[in-house]
Amino acid sequence: MRDSPGYASMGRMRSIKIGLFAVLSSALFASSIALSPTAQASTQSASCAGTHVANRTVSNAAGTVIGRVGIYRDGNYACAIGVKAGGVYGVPTYTSLIVYSQSGADSGSDSGQFLYQTNAIRVYAPAHYILVDLLVTTNTGAQRRVRDTVYF
C-alpha cells in the first residue's frame, strides 16, 4: 500500500497541510505582535486611575468656571478627564479634550456633544509632564479653552 500512488499523494498533502499550518501560525503570531498595543498607545475610559496631581479650569467671559480638567498620575502614565461645570453642566455643547505627552510621542483626544464630561484620556509620559487642552462651548456658542503644561 505504501507504494501505491494514492498513499504518496496523501503523504504530500499531509506535508503541505503541516507546512501551510506552520506558515499561517507564524504569520498570525507575527501580526499579533505587530498589532499589540505598545506602552506608548493612548487609551480612553470613563475615569482615571492613580493619584490626583492637578486641576485646570476653563471660565466664561464673566469669570464663571464652565469646565475643569482633572489630571492623574499612574506610574509613567498620565490621565486627564474634562468635566463641564456651571451653566453648561448637563447641557449638550461641543467639548474637546486633547492630551499630549512631553515629546508628542503619545497623544489622545475626545470630542463631541457632551452633557457632563469627556472620556478619560491616558497617555504614556515617562518624563512626567503633559500638555492638556480643554475646549468648552458655552450656551451662547462661544468657545473657551485652557491649554497648559502640567508637571507631575
Look-up of cell digits 479634550: 97
pLDDT at 60 over 60: yes
- The model's pTM is 0.71
C-alpha cell recorded at residue 43: 487609551
Share of residues in the chain with pLDDT > 90 (%)? 65
User: What is the reported pLDDT for 10?
Assistant: 47
Decide if 42 contacts 130 (C-beta within 8 A). Answer: no
Rounded CA separation 52/147 (Å): 18
Q: With bands split at pLDDT 50, 70 and 90, how would you rate the model's confidence at 125? A: very high
* Bridge partners, 109 (sequence order): 98
The stretch 133-137 carries a mean pLDDT of 98
At 69, phi and psi to the nearest 5?
A: -110, 120
Q: How far is CA 78 from CA 62, 99, 104, in A?
A: 31, 9, 13
Categorise residue 141: left if φ over 0, alpha if ψ from -120 to 50, beta otherwise.
left
* pLDDT beyond 80 at 17: no
pLDDT band at 40 (very low <50, low <70, confident <90, very high): low
Q: Quick one: pLDDT at residue 34?
A: 32
**What pLDDT band is residue 82 in, cutting at 50, 70 and 90?**
very high
Separation of alpha carbons 27 and 147, rounded Å = 44
Q: Which residue has the higher pLDDT, 12 or 145?
A: 145
